[in-house]
C-alpha cells in the first residue's frame, strides 16, 4: 500500500479537526448543501462508501457544491461533458487485493494476499460543462421536520435492537446488550434524536455476537476513542441514507482531542474507522429484511 495516500487523506481530516470541525458533519452545519443530505454518488448514481464519503463531503463543503455527484475526467467526456479549465479534482481511493507467490529455498511456494490502495481523481458535476440535463437537476427544498419520522422509526425497529427510553443519558449498555435513549421530547428536534439513536445503534453492532469490535473500557484510551469515531461515522452514514439532517451533538466535541491523537499517531486510523462504520451501517441495513423473517417465524 502507498502510505502517502493514507497520510494525505488523514492530514486533511486532521486539519479540519484542529479547527474544531468534524468533516462528516460539514454538510449539516455549514448550510452549503441544498435539500436533503445524502451520500456522495458516482456518475451512475451508485453511492460512495467508507473514507470516500468523508473526503467528498469535505470537498463539497470547501467548494460549496450542491450536487452530490462526482465522476472522472474520462467519464465526463464519455457523457459529452468537459471539465472546465483550471478546476481541481478531489481524490477518492479504491481498495483491492492481489496475490504474490514467493519461492522458499527448498523450492516450496507460498502464496500471499497483498492489499493495495489506489487513488484517483474525480470532479463534481458543477465543475463540468456540457453534461446531460439529468446531472443538473436542482434538489427540492427540504420540508420542515415532523415530530416523528416514520421511515426512521421503521428502520431502527427492524434492527431488532432492544431500545429502552428514559433518563437523560444516551448510551449502549454492553453488558445488558441494550440501547438506552432519553425520550424523543428531550431532544431539540426529531432528527437529533434519530442521529443519536443511529450513533448508539452503531455501537450495538460491535457487540461480540454481531461484528465483534473491541470496546475501550476507559474514556481516555485509544481503543475507546476509535470506537467513538466508528459510531460517529456510522451515525453520519446512516443519517445520510435516511435523509436526516441533525445538528452536531455538542457533547461529542469533547472527543476531538482524543481523535486527533489517534489520527496523528496512525495515518490509517481514519480509513479503518470509516471501513468499520461502513460495515456497521451495512449490517443495520441488512437487518431490514430480517425483520419480516422474524415476524413470520
What is the per-residue pLDDT across 195-219, written as a single tens digit (0 to 9) for each? Answer: 999 999 999 999 999 999 988 766 6
Instruction: Return the SS3 of 82.
Output: strand
Q: Measure the CA–CA gap between 182 and 197, rounded to whole angstroms.
A: 10
Which has more pLDDT, 272 or 32?
A: 272
Joined together, the cell numbers standing for residue 289 give 429484511
Q: Is the pLDDT of residue 77 over 80?
A: yes
Confidence (pLDDT) at 10: 85
Which has more pLDDT, 205 or 111?
A: 205
CA distances from 46 to 69, 83, 215 (A): 9, 21, 32
Ranked by mean pLDDT, which of 14-18, 60-64, 172-176, 293-297 comes out on top?
A: 172-176
Question: Is the Cβ–Cβ distance between 279 and 233 less than 8 Å?
Answer: no
The model's confidence at residue 36, banded by pLDDT at 50, 70 and 90, is low
Residues 6+ apart with CB under 8 A from 283: 205, 210, 211
Mean pLDDT computed over 38-42 = 89
Residues 6+ apart with CB under 8 A from 70: 40, 41, 42, 43, 48, 56, 90, 92, 122, 123, 124, 125
Instruction: Return the SS3 of 83.
Output: strand
How confident is the model over 130-148, as pLDDT tens digits?
999 988 765 554 454 447 8
Confidence (pLDDT) at 248: 66
Q: Is the pLDDT of residue 165 over 60?
A: yes
Q: Is the pLDDT of residue 254 over 70?
A: no
Q: Measure the CA–CA gap between 173 and 27, rounded to whole angstroms.
A: 30
Amino acid at each position: 500500500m502507498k502510505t502517502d495516500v493514507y497520510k494525505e487523506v488523514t492530514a486533511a481530516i486532521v486539519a479540519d479537526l484542529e479547527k474544531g470541525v468534524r468533516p462528516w458533519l460539514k454538510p449539516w452545519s455549514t448550510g452549503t448543501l441544498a435539500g436533503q443530505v445524502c451520500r456522495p454518488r458516482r456518475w451512475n448514481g451508485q453511492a460512495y462508501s467508507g473514507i470516500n464519503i468523508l473526503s467528498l463531503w469535505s470537498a463539497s463543503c470547501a467548494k460549496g457544491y450542491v450536487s452530490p455527484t462526482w465522476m472522472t475526467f474520462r467519464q465526463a467526456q464519455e457523457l459529452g461533458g468537459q471539465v472546465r479549465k483550471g478546476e481541481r479534482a478531489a481524490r477518492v481511493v479504491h481498495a483491492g487485493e492481489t496475490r504474490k507467490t514467493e519461492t522458499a529455498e527448498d523450492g516450496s511456494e507460498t502464496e500471499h494476499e497483498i492489499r493495495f490502495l489506489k487513488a484517483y481523481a474525480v470532479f463534481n458535476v458543477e465543475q463540468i460543462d456540457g453534461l446531460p440535463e439529468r446531472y443538473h437537476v436542482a434538489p427540492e427544498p427540504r420540508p420542515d421536520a415532523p415530530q416523528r419520522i416514520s421511515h426512521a422509526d421503521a428502520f431502527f425497529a427492524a434492527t431488532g435492537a432492544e431500545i429502552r427510553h428514559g433518563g437523560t443519558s444516551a448510551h449502549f449498555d454492553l453488558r445488558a446488550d441494550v440501547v438506552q435513549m432519553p425520550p424523543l421530547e428531550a431532544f431539540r428536534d426529531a432528527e437529533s434524536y434519530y442521529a443519536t439513536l443511529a450513533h448508539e445503534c452503531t455501537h450495538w453492532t460491535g457487540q461480540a455476537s454481531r461484528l465483534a469490535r473491541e470496546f475501550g473500557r476507559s474514556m481516555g484510551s485509544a481503543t475507546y476513542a476509535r470506537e467513538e469515531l466508528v459510531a460517529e461515522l456510522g451515525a453520519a452514514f446512516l443519517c445520510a441514507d435516511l435523509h436526516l439532517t441533525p445538528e452536531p451533538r455538542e457533547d461529542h466535541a469533547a472527543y476531538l482531542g482524543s481523535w486527533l491523537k489517534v489520527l496523528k499517531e496512525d495515518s490509517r486510523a481514519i480509513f479503518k474507522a470509516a471501513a468499520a462504520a461502513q460495515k456497521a451501517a451495512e449490517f443495520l441495513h441488512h437487518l431490514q429484511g430480517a425483520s419480516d423473517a422474524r415476524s413470520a417465524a
